[in-house]
Amino acid sequence: MLRRSIRRAPSGPSLRRLLWGLPLLAACGARSEMESGSRGVGGGGGHGLAGGSVTGSGGSPASTGATGGGASSSSGAAGASSSSSGAGAGGQDAGPVCALEVIPPLGFLDGAPDGPSESPSLATSTDDGSQVTVFGAQSVDQASPNASLVYGSLFPWLSWPASGAIGESVAPGPTMGASKEILAAPLAGNRFAVLWQESAALWYSFGGSGQGFSLGEVIYGGLSRPLFAAPNPKGHLVGFQFPIDSPLGLDGLGIGTMDDGVYSGTAVVGCGVSIAASAIAWGADWLLATAMSQPLGSCDLDRIGPPTHVQVTRLSGGAPVEVEAAWDESTPLGSLELVPRSGGAWMVWDYAGATSTPIFARTIDGSGVPAPESLPVTAAGETAIAGSLAVDRLGDALLVAWHAPGGSIVVRVIDGGGAVLLSAVVPIDGSAKGAVSVIGAPSGDAILVAWAEVPPNQAAARIRIAKLACSGG
């Protein structure tokens, strides 16, 4: 039983002694061969924004030290040796050249333009970032608990569909479960990968334009929630949350590597009452950020609780190399994301336990050490709907999007010192449902954001995609 994998930790648990490397027994699907790409894949890349000081209409600049009207972030990271004051290792970010505007019309997957569809997830699907694939969960009708995994690809930075329609394909294989969990990621070789939850298994599937869709492999045989898929030239480091003991509300964090279509198996690396985690490629290794009730690698039953202990760890081959920083937050984290930037990374999070939350960020230097001070992404008095956070990079700047209370999508770009470079509000029709997904153009001059909305007086959600670019450009 999985329960037996939980060990009581002695005082001062060792990262390597406890859970790390403990295998998770899970159902395995048929293996599929996957060719390795010749080029690695990462974040949005690009040249960034340059010149000017314009903030797009509808945005409100974040003021230094603002808490957004919610839980405050701790000001220091225990063990962090960085002397950075928030500028990070990527050099000084340039200012903007334009205000953002939505390029009409809004996009939609043409299989069910008015739903029921939800859980959008965007990923670049060519190595140069020119093509983007949109994934979603599409139900036969609103009463059905199951849905099909659907997707469509376009070249949004070159042209935008005049009608808004994006050609849709239905992924082969089983239907999705009621949770409708989808997490898409780029895959080298002009392909995409997608983690998705069917009724009884978590799948890793992949494909690309002219390459079809491979169902791939089951990486966990049960209900779960995909947390990240960090790319490398051959595949991904994947992470997911799964239930260990439902009566206790105890969840586990499982990670594993997918290389050339072969899954390494899952290691259980932590536990808690809910988990937040993210990872990115870090040279030949990975950088992993986690929020649990206790340090990564331990599962002490006496310390099980909400995710307030934040840790940044460098991994090599899926195993820990060094804990770069760790600190405790007074409020449990809800979402936690890592985004690469030149010479380092961004770390972004929101909080759980309320319907709306502030959003904070820290830069991470080239050694993997977070800056000691947190930067507010939301302004004083401004909040995001909990669980709606999405991030990417725009050049070396941080691109963040979220559902705002009251019915809109906020898109914001900040530099390494926390100054707002761009901010815009995208109205939605009705109420928001689920998380947002966002991608920055490789050139750094356009943004794609996707969301699910429930129109007034309707029960079914529908997916919408907006392109934002320079006003008049």
**φ and ψ at 217, to 5 degrees?**
-145, 145
pTM above 0.85, yes or no: no
CA distance 37 to 128: 13
Contact 362, 349 (CB under 8 A): no
Asked whether residue 303 is assigned to any structural domain, the reply reads yes
Write down the pLDDT at residue 146: 83
Please choose, from the candidates 56, 84, 10, the residue with its C-alpha nearest in 3D space to the C-alpha of residue 468.
56
Residue 129 is assigned to a structural domain of this protein:
yes
Q: Report residue 5: phi and psi, to 5°.
A: -75, -10
3-state secondary structure of 5: helix
Contact 73, 371 (CB under 8 A): no
Q: What is the C-alpha separation between 55 and 62, in angstroms, rounded?
A: 11
User: Does 421 fall in a domain?
Assistant: yes
Q: Which two tokens stand for residue 106?
A: 């809004």
346 vs 364: CA distance, rounded Å: 6
Q: Residue 72: its pLDDT value, please?
A: 39
Residue 460 burial (C-beta neighbours within 10 Å; 0-12, 13-18, 19+): middle
Question: What is the rounded distance in angstroms from the CA atom of residue 216 to the CA atom of residue 200?
Answer: 15
In a domain, 141, yes or no: yes
Can you give the pLDDT at residue 169?
A: 95
pLDDT, position 473 = 56
Cα–Cα distance for residue pair 211/116, rounded to 1 Å: 28
* Residue-number span of the structural domain to which 269 is assigned: 49-470
C-alpha neighbours within 13 Å on the C-beta side of residue 59: 26
DSSP secondary-structure letter at 222? S
With respect to residue 2, please indicate whether it lies within any of the assigned structural domains: no
Nearest residue to 289 via CA among 311, 267, 266: 311
Q: Is residue 345 part of a domain?
A: yes
Burial 66-98 (b: 16+ CB within 10 A, else e): bbbebbbbbeebeebebebebbbbbeebbbbbb
Tens place of pLDDT per residue across the chain (473 aa): 222 233 323 323 333 333 444 444 333 333 222 222 222 333 333 334 423 322 333 333 333 333 333 333 333 333 333 233 333 333 344 455 568 999 999 999 999 898 899 999 999 999 999 999 999 999 877 777 789 999 999 999 999 999 999 999 999 989 998 889 999 999 999 999 999 999 889 999 999 988 999 999 999 999 999 999 999 888 899 999 999 998 888 999 999 999 988 999 999 999 999 999 999 999 889 999 999 999 999 999 899 999 999 999 999 877 888 999 999 999 999 999 999 999 999 999 999 988 999 999 999 999 999 999 999 999 999 999 999 999 999 999 999 999 999 889 999 999 999 999 999 999 999 999 999 999 999 999 899 999 999 999 988 899 999 999 987 65
- Dist. CA 4–CA 244, nearest whole Å: 10
CATH number at residue 368: 2.130.10.150
Report how far residue 377's alpha carbon sits from residue 386's, in angstroms, rounded to the nearest whole number: 14
| Nearest one of 426, 466, 419, 449 to 55, comparing CA atoms | 419
262: left (phi over 0), alpha (psi -120 to 50) or beta: beta
Kindly write down the DSSP assignment for every residue of 340-397, as one continuous string.
Answer: EETTEEEEEEEE-SSSEE-EEEEEE-TTSPBPSS-EESSPTT--EETT--EEEEETTE
3-state secondary structure at position 4 = helix
Residue found by looking up tokens 């356009």 in the block? 446
Total of domains in the chain: 1
Residue 19 lies in a domain: no
Residue 348 and residue 289 in contact, taking contact as beta carbons nearer than 8 Å:
no
At 424, list the tokens. 């815009």
> Is 325 inside any structural domain?
yes
